[in-house]
């Protein structure tokens, strides 16, 4: 425990961030989120240039790609941070990330 804090005369031990060992996990999630956001946005932009003519549909395609990237990063980060999704409890993280890495 890091330090003792007083709350109304009662000493309480407050844990530090290093006690939880979150730094590597948070770094991995941040890296994963940025990469998936950028790659999916670029995929949406390239699809928009190829398939759509109007500005609105092109921006919608980029926004859809960015949303898909953020959503997949959220799912993977929930596994990394020891969370779970009840509907996908039978899938493993390595299978999801291996499939995603084949796409990008």
Q: What is the mean pLDDT of each run of 10 residues along the chain (104 residues)?
A: 56 63 77 93 93 91 94 88 57 58 58
Please report whether residue 9 resides in a domain: no
Q: How many domains does the chain have?
A: 1
Please report whether residue 8 resides in a domain: no
Assess contact for 81 and 87: CB atoms under 8 A. no
17 burial (CB, 10 Å; 0-12 / 13-18 / 19+) is exposed
Question: Which pLDDT score is estimated for 66?
Answer: 94
Query: Which residues form the domain of 37?
Result: 22-103
Question: Which pLDDT score is estimated for 46?
Answer: 93
Please report whether residue 16 resides in a domain: no
Please report whether residue 1 resides in a domain: no
Please report whether residue 52 resides in a domain: yes
Q: Taking the complete model, does pTM exceed 0.85, yes or no?
A: no
Give just the sign of the alpha carbon dihedral 42, 44, 45, 46. positive
Query: DSSP code of 89?
Result: T
Please report whether residue 64 resides in a domain: yes
User: What CA–CA distance (Å, rounded) separates 3 from 99?
Assistant: 44
21 burial (CB, 10 Å; 0-12 / 13-18 / 19+) is exposed
Question: Which pLDDT score is estimated for 1?
Answer: 45
Please report whether residue 90 resides in a domain: yes
């Amino acid at each position: 425990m890091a330090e003792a804090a007083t709350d109304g005369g009662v000493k309480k031990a407050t844990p530090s961030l290093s006690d939880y060992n979150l730094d590597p996990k948070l770094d991995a999630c941040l890296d994963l989120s940025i990469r998936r956001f950028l790659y999916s946005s670029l995929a949406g932009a390239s699809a928009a240039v190829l398939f759509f003519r109007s500005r609105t549909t092109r921006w919608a395609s980029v926004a859809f790609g960015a949303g898909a990237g953020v959503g997949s990063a959220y799912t993977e980060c929930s596994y990394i941070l020891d969370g779970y999704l009840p509907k996908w409890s039978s899938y493993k993280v390595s299978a999801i990330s291996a499939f995603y890495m084949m796409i990008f």
